[in-house]
Structure 1
Amino acid sequence: MPHHSRLSNLMIDCKVDDLAPHAEFWSKALGKPIVTVDQDGDGKYAELRTEADEPMILLQKVDHDSRIHLDIETDDIEAEVARLEKLGAKRIKFCKRWWVMEAPSGHRFCVVRQQREPFGPHLNRWD
């Protein structure tokens, strides 16, 4: 059965106690206003405003070293993970409702459920 995926999020992983001042920095650096410094009410995610045809930009409070990673959104997580494994990626860890993956280059990324309605432009169809 075919499924769809596309680049969804640019995640700015921050090993910090408080995301607010870091959201302020990235907002000014990227020219993107802050939507919220507490997206889920748990202090772990901040969001910057992007257009519907751009990837979302989120700051995420993490325990590992600060870095930037990307998310691939899909309407079928297992099918997308299997497709990426055939390309050489490895499953690292299932978290809540997404997979942390590792590319053959060693870069970590996530495969997440569909983030926006409608799914939007720049969509790939995989058979």
Structure 2
Amino acid sequence: MHHSRLSTFVIDCQSEDLERATDFWSRALGRDVKPPQADSPGYRELATSSEEPLVLIQRVDHPGRIHLDIEADDLEAEAKRLEALGAKRVAFIKRWWVMEAPTGQRFCIVNPQRGPLDAQNANAWSGGE
């Protein structure tokens, strides 16, 4: 059995000026910007409550879009579960899977971002679901 839940909305920005993009989304969504993390220069995070998904602004080389991340305590089990629903694996990058839904949208399966996953705060999946 493994657990998963919606983790993050990632706003992909094809822009050299990540600060400008972050300022726009911060103001548009009424959220403060958290201090940047030195090990993730291509990302900025907006402040959210513990009950909300995270919101990341990400510098990318492809056209801008918004994708979501699903956090899971077993990446492989979650990838297999989603493949059984029709998704396909696109690439494993650093420590997450980039997936594609049957309808073409890209999303990622990531390790837990907002603390441990359990039956109280996440979906529980057995092997066949």
- The TM-score range, normalised by the shorter chain, is over 0.9
Larger deviation, residues 14-23 vs 48-57: 14-23
Q: 1:28 is aligned with what amino acid?
A: R
Name which of structure 1's ranges 110-119 and 62-71 shifts more when overlaid on structure 2: 110-119
Unaligned runs of 5+ in 1: none
Which residue does the alignment assign to 1:117? 115
Counterpart of 1:9 in structure 2: which amino acid? T
- How many residue pairs align between the two structures? 125
> Within 5 A, what are the aligned runs for 1:77-92?
77-92=75-90
Distance change >3 Å, CA 118–CA 52, structure 1 → 2: farther
- Cα separation, 2, equivalents of 1:17 and 1:97: 24
Q: Tell me the TM-score normalised to structure 1 length.
A: 0.92
Give SS of 1:35's match. coil
The answer (yes or no) to whether the contact 1:47–1:57 under 8 Å persists in 2 is yes
Cα shift readout 1:3-40 (whole Å, capped 9, x = no counterpart): 0000000000011112111111101111111113x334
Partner residue of 1:44?
A: 42
- Structure 2 distance, partners of 1:99, 1:40, is 23
What's the offset of the Cα at 1:117? Answer: 1.7
1:39–1:47: 8 Å Cα contact kept in structure 2?
no
SS in structure 1 opposite 2:34? strand
Q: Say whether the 8 Å CA contact 2:91–2:99 is kept in structure 1.
A: yes
Question: Which among 74, 77, 83 is matched to residue 76 of structure 1?
Answer: 74
Is the partner of 1:111 in helix, strand or coil?
strand
Q: For 1:103-124, what per-residue CA distance to the aligned partner results, in whole angstroms no more than 9, with x for missing partners?
A: 0000000000011224486410
The RMSD of aligned alpha carbons is: 1.4
Deviating 4+ runs (over 4 angstroms): none
2:87 corresponds to which letter in structure 1?
A: A
The residue number in structure 2 matching 1:98 is: 96
Identify the range of structure 1 (117-126 vs 67-76) with the bigger mean alpha-carbon deviation. Answer: 117-126
- TM-score between both structures, scaled by the size of structure 2: 0.91
- Identity rate of aligned residues, in percent? 55
